[in-house]
């Protein structure tokens, strides 16, 4: 049984690359990335193209409304018949119609210990708040901003010398581990009870 993944990105695709390499190194996991999509001509698409994996780009600016954009994005995703849609550094908020089309099989990684520090600037927010424990999470996407059911999460210590960049680099390592853990679970979308960390 093969689990078909469509991955959505907006940037360099470092987490995508890690996922692709894990899929290659562990064929027994039964995971295959069948397509990678983006909202712009993202550099990370090259990770897919170099492996002859299909790619697609659906820019928000090409449509008159977010809903129209979402409908077209949904059609592109649906064309690959995914079992799971992975948002991996995808920086656009999806319209409810797209979420409803693929939920609960649409998951997202986030660089904080949700529900703490939701939003696009989570790492910088954690640095500014002076916390000594940051985190990483994987959630099932809903219509809110990082409010969906928590599938996995883990604390990441903050060091006194940390910058946004150095903390984010360490969080990404944990994000990648948690994403792989969720994707390879027998029951992929079983939620983690509030207050519990995921083992890696």
pLDDT at 175: 97
Residue-wise pLDDT for 111-132, tens only, equals: 999 999 999 999 999 999 999 9
Of 3.30.160.270, 3.30.565.10, 3.40.50.170, 3.30.1360.70, the CATH number of 3-184 is 3.40.50.170
- pLDDT band at 199, cuts 50/70/90? very low
Reply yes or no on whether 110 is catalytic: yes
- From residue 50, give the alpha-carbon distance in Å to each of 27, 87, 124: 19, 20, 33
Greatest CA separation for the chain: 47
Checking phi first, is residue 117 left (phi over 0); if not, alpha (psi -120 to 50) or beta? left
Quick check: 186 pLDDT over 90?
no
pLDDT at 185: 87
Residue 60 in tokens:
């928000």
Handedness of CA 50, 29, 175, 113 (dihedral sign): positive
Stretch 44-70: mean pLDDT: 97
Which residue in 26, 47, 110, 168 is the catalytic one? 110
pLDDT at 196: 52
Quick check: 195 pLDDT over 50?
no
Domain ranges for the chain: 3-184
- The pair phi, psi for residue 189, each rounded to 5°, is -110, 25
pLDDT at 200: 40
Whole-number percent of the chain with pLDDT over 70: 92
pLDDT at 197: 66
The structure tokens 């010398």 sit at 161
Give the total residue count for the chain: 200
């Amino acid at each position: 049984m093969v689990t078909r993944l469509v991955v959505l990105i907006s940037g360099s695709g470092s987490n995508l690359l890690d996922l692709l390499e894990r899929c290659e190194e562990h064929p027994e996991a039964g995971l295959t990335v069948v397509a990678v999509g983006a909202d712009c001509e993202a550099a990370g698409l090259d990770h897919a193209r170099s492996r002859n994996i299909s790619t697609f780009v659906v820019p928000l600016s090409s449509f008159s409304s977010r809903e129209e954009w979402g409908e077209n994005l949904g059609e592109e995703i649906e064309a690959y018949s995914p079992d799971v849609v992975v948002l991996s550094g995808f920086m656009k908020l999806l319209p409810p119609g797209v979420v409803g089309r693929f939920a609960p099989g649409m998951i997202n990684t986030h660089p904080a210990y949700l529900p703490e520090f939701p939003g696009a600037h989570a790492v910088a927010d954690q640095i500014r708040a002076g916390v000594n424990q940051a985190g990483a999470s994987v959630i099932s996407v809903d219509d809110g901003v990082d409010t969906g059911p928590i599938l996995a999460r883990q604390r990441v210590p903050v060091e006194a010398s940390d910058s946004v960049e150095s903390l984010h680099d360490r969080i990404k390592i944990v994000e990648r581990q948690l994403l792989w853990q969720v994707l390879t679970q027998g029951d992929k979308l079983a939620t983690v009870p509030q207050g519990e960390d995921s083992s890696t």
